[in-house]
Amino acid sequence: MKKIFAIALAVVMVLSIASVAGALWEPTPADPATDYRVQISVEKYALETGYYGYNYTTAENITAANSAPVYYVVKMDIPASPNAEEKATVVSVNYKGIAGTDYKNSIATFYVTTADGSWAPKNNCTTWYYNGTDWNPGNATAFLTDPGSVVARANCYDTTTASIKVEASAKRDLKVDDGFEWKGYTVYYSGTAIAFVKDGQKVRFTLGSDGLASYQSSSATTSTFESNLFADLGFTAPELNADKIYMTETNLRNLFGFSYKVTDSVNWTATNYPIIVDTNVGIPKTGDNASVIGFAMIMVAVVAAAVAVRKVNA
């Protein structure tokens, strides 16, 4: 019995050591605020009318009523020179209870490829607005200069679900035949090995079934290249040589297998009072309607006089 307990304890200790060793390498995920520059937003607006015209104002708390119009602005800013992460972006706009066409497409739609193979924004425009059916080019101050050109109008048909959600997201495929770029390295990953190539130098890690990493360097690889690579990866050569580095897919995705997402959404709750729009309501001024009102007023006076007479007689 003691022997069985000792064996079980040894197995637990081995597993614990392996799990601790695997946890020694915890790369810091890339920061979307600095490494991912695609930004997308949606805001609610109100239409204010007055004696001299109308204007649009932000209205976060504005409500909605079925069949009544709502106003909003969907805006997207894209970088002039997108990196690999940004090129992989998918943009979507989704409507619920609001008239509008859902949209989902690659961000490549907003770029053209130049002669040297790089990407440049269409119309040289890095700010775009969605009007419910199409994306239109604008600029950072479009709302200030011409708010009517960017504010979209749509009817609400279900106040229980009335909302708009916008999203820009990017996920890297780790297994790319031609590799992908990361901090100046070209990275090749197969699942059982991963290689980093830069300026003709290369370091290749073989990966065990549990992700345990060991490495091989080419004859042209310098110790400086290796130490810089290890520093970029976030571990040291002694840790690697001591079998403490586990390159699981989770670890790799935390490091450079980007999974970026920026989202924004708005919703309209039901208004607590009815909205009645009747453009025919008004006080008649002339013609037959005026005579009708005059007749009605006379009849009211006659009835009032009759009531007064009855009270006196009583």
Summarize pLDDT for 271-280 with one digit per residue, the tens: 755 444 444 4
| The one-letter amino acid at 280 | N
- Using CA atoms, how far apart are residues 233 and 205, in angstroms rounded to an integer? 12
Question: Per-residue pLDDT averaged across 68-81, rounded?
Answer: 96
Residue 307 has pLDDT above 90, yes or no: no
Q: Does residue 94 surpass a pLDDT of 90?
A: yes
Q: What is the pLDDT of residues 100-130, one digit of tens each?
A: 999 999 999 999 999 999 999 999 999 999 9
* Residue 219: predicted pLDDT: 62
Assess whether pLDDT exceeds 70 at residue 148: yes
Q: What pLDDT shows up at residue 35? A: 72
> Residue 229 has what pLDDT?
93
pLDDT top residue among 51 and 48: 48
Which residue in 123, 122, 126 sits closest to 139, CA to CA? 126
Residue 30: predicted pLDDT: 56
For the segment 80-97, the average pLDDT, to the nearest whole number, is: 94
Tens digit of each residue's pLDDT (9 = 90 or more) over 153-181: 999 999 999 999 999 999 878 888 889 88
Q: Which residue has the tokens 């050109």?
A: 149
Q: State pTM to two decimals.
A: 0.59
Task: List helix spans (H) across the chain.
Answer: 2-23, 32-35, 84-87, 142-145, 223-233, 237-241, 249-255, 287-313
Closest C-alpha to 257, from 152, 175, 151, 142: 175
Q: Supply the DSSP string of 13-29, one letter for each residue.
A: HHHHHHHHHHHT--PPP
Report pLDDT for 33. 52
Average confidence (pLDDT) over 36-58:
85
Is the confidence at residue 131, as pLDDT, over 70? yes
* Percentage of the chain modeled with pLDDT above 90: 46
The sign of the CA dihedral 289, 295, 296, 301 is positive
Mean pLDDT in residue range 235-239:
89
Instruction: Say how many residues make up the chain.
Output: 314
Distance separating alpha carbons of residues 110 and 113, to the nearest angstrom: 10
Q: Tokens 């600095």 belong to which residue? A: 34
Distances (CA, A) of 291 to 46, 300, 304: 41, 14, 20
- pLDDT tens by residue, 244-295: 999 988 888 778 777 788 999 999 998 755 444 444 444 444 444 444 444 4
Query: In the predicted model, what is the mean pLDDT of residues 32-40?
Result: 78
In this structure, the dihedral spanned by the alpha carbons of residues 131, 137, 140 and 146, taken in order and rounded to 10 degrees, is -60
What local confidence, expressed as pLDDT, does residue 137 receive?
93
Nearby residues of 255 by Cβ (< 8 Å), 6 or more positions away: 27, 28, 29, 30, 233, 234
pLDDT value of position 27: 73
pLDDT number for residue 273: 52
pLDDT for res 197: 93
Cα 148 to Cα 71: distance, rounded to the nearest angstrom: 10
Closest CA to 262 of 197, 165, 184: 165
Render pLDDT for 193-228 as a digit per residue (tens, 0 to 9): 999 999 889 999 999 988 899 987 666 678 889 889
pLDDT tier at 6 (50, 70, 90 boundaries)? very low
